[in-house]
Amino acid sequence: MSFQQIGVVGAGNMGSGIAQKIATEGFPVVVADLGAEALQRGKQRIQETLQQGVERKLFTPERAAEILGRISFATELGSLRDCDVVIEAIFEDRAAKQQLFAELDRVCAPKTILGTNTSSFYVRELAEATQRPDRVVGLHYFYHPAKNRLVEVVPGEHTSEETRRRAWLLQELIGKTPIHSADAPGFVVNRYFVPWLNEAVRLLAEGLADIATIDAAAKQRFEIGMGPFELMNVTGVPIALHAATTLGEELGPFYAPAKRLAEQVAAKQNWDLSGTPDPQRFAAVGERLFAAIAYVACELVEAGVATIEDTDIGARVGLRWAKGPFELINAEGVARTLELVRLLLAPWKEQRVPALLRRQAEHGKPFAIQLVKSEKLGGLATLTINRPDALNALNPEVVKQLASAFHATAQDPEVKAIVLAGAGKAFVAGADLKFFVDALAKNDFTSIYNFTRQGQDLLLAFAQCTKPVIAWLDGLSLGGGSEMALACDYIVASPRGSMGFPETGIGIYPGLGGTQRPTRRMGVGLTRFFVLSGAPIDAKTGKELGLIDELVSPADAPAVFARLAAKPKPAPRAVPTKVPEAWAPVAEFFTAHELEAIVGGKLPPPAHPLAAKVLPRLAQKAPLALRHAFRLIGEGAAKATTREACELEMQSLREIFGTADAKEGLSSAVERRRPSYTGR
């Protein structure tokens, strides 16, 4: 499943952005366009976007030049012959796309997967123009594709499962957040986003509110930066008309473009955003726009276009909304949502209220949103934490769902091993800090204790499971995420995997075994160094230290999982007596000296460049957190079992969360400011 070269057809805004993103992630890209001038404009767009990245210090000028150097430009489609995947990103014209796919089918190697970025046409229609419909798939990117992480992966009627998996893997490798969509009008996000825009125009035409009021009400209701009219001006009013026309032709009058929208396009003008919003109309506007979203979201899930979870991820990642449609429905209340949808549809006699919404209202419960996906393939069960926009951060609901899925999988006789993974670019970026902040604000230590206990019990269950438990560290892990990985029998990481323990920088200590399990892999001294300093551990370093068992490419990971699954479950780890030679001075330093001497800065640093760099930073950490972590690591190493060692963390939990430093550190992290610690 490796990829050597990717092709993109079309050097416009979308094509150039897609190519840039792929090249940024290290893959050679060939951009093909029939016009030399179009290619030059595409190259210029990429250069300008890269320069913006340099100015924002996202990467250096050298890195920008390296990215551009991976992109080649060609006017001949034959230059795409040896590409593993070719992504079509030309203008939205059915005949032109079908002609292009027929030509790509002729010139590309049999192995090549053909992807389409269409937002208007069925994937199956384009696949029919080829002799390889099993290797044609929809890959619908969102603007700007070099920045927006969302991509809808859309199998056509004849797309093979292998093609879907390869296409999905490629999106993960280039740092995208893929969601699944059936081959249906509007796919997932446009299916509800375009009616949301359209409903805003209807509100204007009805005189319920002016543009300034509608935009302001939408921004307030959906917690977004731009309202529907400003968004249409930015993305192009004709695009909104085209999308609504397509949906209307397929799905009926409710989806068809408002007359006022067609008039605006005919006038060749943007919307006039001037004026003063009227707050008295915010509630009515917000309810109509919300009802449109709720209706369409329920309708598309009921029709099998997407899951509840992917529908919400699409809004949060692709549109950057604070909440997805079903989260909004749950917040509004299902019964109230049903009432608003009925009012919305009253003029549209041919539209019915989705049975999905009616049934949920009858149950009187919020929609269940699954935060953990479970998949079985060839004796391997993969449990994926599916909060990519939140970097899969742990909260009580995630831990509850993960525990339920894990225990059910552990009892499944068909499962030989369990793989834990995270969706998107992270494994698990620690705990959801807002949960702690909210609990502390209410003096609710019980919730914190119960959450930590549930997490501890789950991680201890990994060791009790008779089947090998494997962590797939294909991205960032911090705090609770690194602790979860370390609780597994094996940690398999890709080169982009990482670990880290930032807790002492936010006023607390690692509470899910982070002061205990690392000692069973790299000893007391190195555990103290990394836990006290919070220094990040890349995958290569993790492998060197013994934290990571296997370092592989994502394409090779399934074979490694299968090999580990065939092994007996390993015995519990003991504290090692030796560490890698290069790290021996660091280990000795943190074992031989007391905390006060280390933090005081009077001792010469150990002979290691990282230690010399991070030791001065210890003085900026929370003093009480450092003290607790230092003690817990030492005391836990003497315990006979991991369970006994981890219990030490629970015993000091109330004390650490009761400190002023914990409140300050956690609050500062949520508020994104530098903490000020007093040692109280």
Do 378 and 403 share a domain, yes or no? yes
Q: What percent of the chain has pLDDT over 90?
A: 95
Residue 320, domain CATH: 1.10.1040.50
Q: Is residue 228 within 8 Å of residue 197, measured between CB atoms?
A: yes
What burial class does residue 578 get, using C-beta atoms within 10 Å of its C-beta: 0-12 exposed, 13-18 middle, 19+ buried? exposed
Domain that holds residue 17: 6-180
Catalytic residue from among 117, 190, 482, 494: 190
H/E segment holding residue 138:
strand 136-141
Give 454's contacts (C-beta < 8 A, 6+ positions apart): 396, 399, 400, 403
679: in domain = no
Instruction: Tell me the average pLDDT across 420-435.
Output: 94
* CB 294, CB 226: distance < 8 Å: no
Q: Could you tell me if 445 and 556 lie in one domain? A: yes
- Residues 536, 477 contacting (CB under 8 angstroms): no
Question: Reduced to 3 states, what is the DSSP secondary structure of residue 420?
Answer: strand
Last residue of a domain, which of 294, 329, 363?
363
DSSP codes of every residue in 70-95:
TEEEES-GGGGTT-SEEEE---S-HH
Could you say which DSSP state residue 259 is in?
Answer: H
Which CATH number do you get for residue 466?
Answer: 3.90.226.10
140 carries an active-site annotation: yes
Amino acid making up residue 175: G
Residues 87 and 133 reside in one and the same domain: yes
**Confidence check: pLDDT of 466 > 60:** yes
Same domain, yes or no, for 215 and 172?
Answer: no
- Check whether 264 has a pLDDT greater than 80: yes
* Residue 338 falls inside a structural domain: yes
Number of structural domains the chain divides into: 3
Q: How confident is the model at residue 508 (pLDDT cuts 50, 70, 90)?
A: very high
Please determine, for residue 1, whether its predicted confidence score (pLDDT) is greater than 70. no
pLDDT in tens, 29-47: 999 998 899 999 999 999 9
At 279, the pLDDT band (50, 70, 90 cuts) reads very high
**Domain CATH code at residue 121:** 3.40.50.720
Angle value at C-alpha 156, between 151 and 158, nearest 5 degrees: 145
What residues contact 134, with CB distance under 8 A and at least 6 apart?
Answer: 158, 159, 160, 163
| pTM recorded for the entire structure | 0.90
Burial class (CB in 10 A: 0-12, 13-18, 19+), 232: buried
Residue 390: inside a domain: yes
Mean pLDDT, the chain, as a whole number? 96
Q: Is the separation of the CB atoms in 436 and 666 below 8 Å? A: yes
Is residue 177 within 8 A of residue 389, CB to CB? The reply is yes
Q: Residue 111 falls within a domain, yes or no?
A: yes
Is 676 domain-assigned? no
Structure-derived torsion over alpha carbons of residues 558, 86, 139, 473, reported in degrees to the nearest 10: 30
Is the pLDDT score of 188 beyond 70?
A: yes
Q: Which of 16, 117, 140, 374 is catalytic?
A: 140
Mean pLDDT for 424-428 is 93
Q: Classify residue 115: in a domain, yes or no.
A: yes
Measured CA to CA, the distance from residue 485 to residue 480 in angstroms comes to 9
Q: How many CA atoms lie within 13 A of 326 on its CB side?
A: 26
190 included as an active-site residue: yes
- Regarding whether 421 and 325 lie in a shared domain, the answer is no
The answer to whether residues 122 and 215 belong to one domain is no
Torsion of CA 591, 593, 596, 598, to 10 degrees: -80
91 and 197 both lie in a single domain: no
Residue with tokens 């079903």: 326
Q: Give the phi and the psi of residue 523 in degrees, each rounded to 5.
A: 90, 170
pLDDT bucket at 426, cuts 50 / 70 / 90: very high
Residue 148 lies in a domain: yes
Give me the catalytic one of 16, 119, 498, 533.
119
Nearest to 522 by CA among 495, 497, 568, 491: 491
> Quick one: 445 and 468 in the same domain?
yes
Question: Is residue 148 flagged as an active site residue?
Answer: no
Last residue of one domain, picked from the residues 147, 180, 213: 180
Instruction: Output the CA angle 31-34-35, nearest 5 degrees.
Output: 100
Residues 347 and 405 in one domain: no
Q: Other C-beta atoms within 10 Å of 278: how many?
A: 15
pLDDT at 448: 96
Co-location of 59 and 138 in the same domain = yes
Active-site residue (options: 16, 120, 148, 152): 152
Rounded CA separation 545/535 (Å): 14
Residue 405 makes CB contacts below 8 A (sequence gap 6+) with: 372, 374, 383
34 in any annotated domain: yes
* Closest to 271 measured CA to CA, from 240, 243, 293: 240
Residue 208 has pLDDT above 80, yes or no: yes
pLDDT for residue 577: 87
Contacts of residue 244, defined as CB under 8 A and 6 or more positions apart, other chains included, come to 194, 195, 197, 198, 255, 256, 257, 258, 261
| 153 membership: H or E segment, kind and range | strand 150-155
pLDDT band per the 50, 70, 90 thresholds, residue 600: confident
Distance, CA of 120 to CA of 156 (rounded, Å): 14
pLDDT tens by residue, 378-418: 899 999 999 999 999 999 999 999 999 999 999 999 999 99
Name the percent of the chain lying above pLDDT 70: 100
User: Do residues 39 and 134 share a domain?
Assistant: yes
Structure tokens at 572: 């519990």
* pLDDT computed for residue 378 by the predictor: 86
Catalytic residue status for 652: no
Q: Give the residue from 138, 154, 180 where a domain finishes.
A: 180
Residues 562 and 659 in one domain: yes
Q: Inter-axis angle of helices 282-302 and 334-345, to 10 degrees? A: 90
